[in-house]
Amino acid sequence: MSWVNAVVQGILLGGLYALVAAGLSLVFGVMRIVNLAHGVLAVLAAFGAYVLGDALGLHPFLALLVVVPVMAAVGYGLQRGLLNRALGGGELAPLLVTFGLAIVLQNALLEAFSADSRRLDVGALGTASIRLGDGLTVGVFPLLAAVVGVLVIAAIGQFLARTATGRAMRATSDDRDAAALMGIDGRHLYGVATAIALGTVAIAGVFLGARSTFDPAAGGVTLIFAFEAVVIGGLGSLWGTLLGGVVLGVAQALGAAVDPAYGVLAGHLVFLVVLATRPRGLLPSAVTA
């Protein structure tokens, strides 16, 4: 039963990883760039929720009503004002720009909040659990995080498939020049894609901040887990990202069941195995998948 419990906990953890990685997958699928500031932006959202809770007494989930639109607006402005310029400089330029942005944001957070760890308080929800059987218990908060991860990915997929803006994003992703000839404003669509990505990053950041402690340096680990989930599932594939997150979460949970020190290591090993045997991921597809 302990192994079954580890698998169940890993699946729930994978749902959270998928939520964290969804924005990274979307940005890569639409623009073919890897946002190295992704993890720090999630931490920034967590600190935003923390400030709102400390100043106004808002519950972290209520703080999402402020943090998500603010982060989305930041994403649009960041894309239009900075990243669109970098896209014209070749494949390396966006990596360097987002890396520099990550360093700046991390140091700004360190100056503003110090290196002390913090955690978002979700009250009784953080400790509530559901007993499914002998030796098998599911936490309400991990279950909620996994469900939100699935819903966010499904919502992005429906947006891309069923809305005019989403279809324009897919067309721009396939052939930007051809889309431009059809009158599609690629720069605006890239801004919208980054706004959606940072909106999902904000949700993920709040859930991460409520699940465990965070500090200004936590962005690096967050980026690694998100990147591994995206690569395992398949670059640009949203449902592949969900699968990748689940595979990563289960690997970490099973590794931790053997020895707590092996949890993260097991996830890295699975990532390397998939990268070596299936370099395009388990579900390689377009961003519409």
pLDDT of residue 146: 96
pLDDT of residue 186: 79
Could you tell me which of 156, 183, 162 has the C-alpha nearest to residue 172? 183
Task: Enumerate the β-bridge partners of residue 133.
Answer: 136
pLDDT of residue 177: 72
Average pLDDT over residues 16-27: 95
Could you tell me which of 142, 201, 159 has the C-alpha nearest to residue 15? 142
Least-confidence region, from 61-70, 151-160, 249-258, 278-287:
278-287
Which domains are present in the chain? 2-277 (1.10.3470)
C-alpha 167, offset from chain centre: 22
Percentage, residues of the chain above pLDDT 90: 70
230/251 Cα distance (integer angstroms): 15
pLDDT, tens digit, 9 for 90 and up, residues 194-237: 999 999 999 999 999 999 999 999 999 999 999 999 999 998 88
208/214 Cα distance (integer angstroms): 8
pLDDT confidence bin for 1, thresholds 50/70/90 = low
pLDDT of residue 171: 83
What is the separation, in whole angstroms, between the first and last Cα of the chain? 35
Strands (E), the chain: 129-133, 136-139
pLDDT, tens digit, 9 for 90 and up, residues 203-214: 999 999 999 999
Structure tokens at 282: 């388990």
pTM score, whole prediction: 0.93
The contacts of residue 6 (CB under 8 Å, 6+ apart) are 250, 253, 254, 256, 257
pLDDT confidence bin for 169, thresholds 50/70/90 = confident
pLDDT of residue 179: 72
The contacts of residue 9 (CB under 8 Å, 6+ apart) are 138, 142, 253
Check: CB of residue 1 under 8 Å from CB of residue 134.
yes
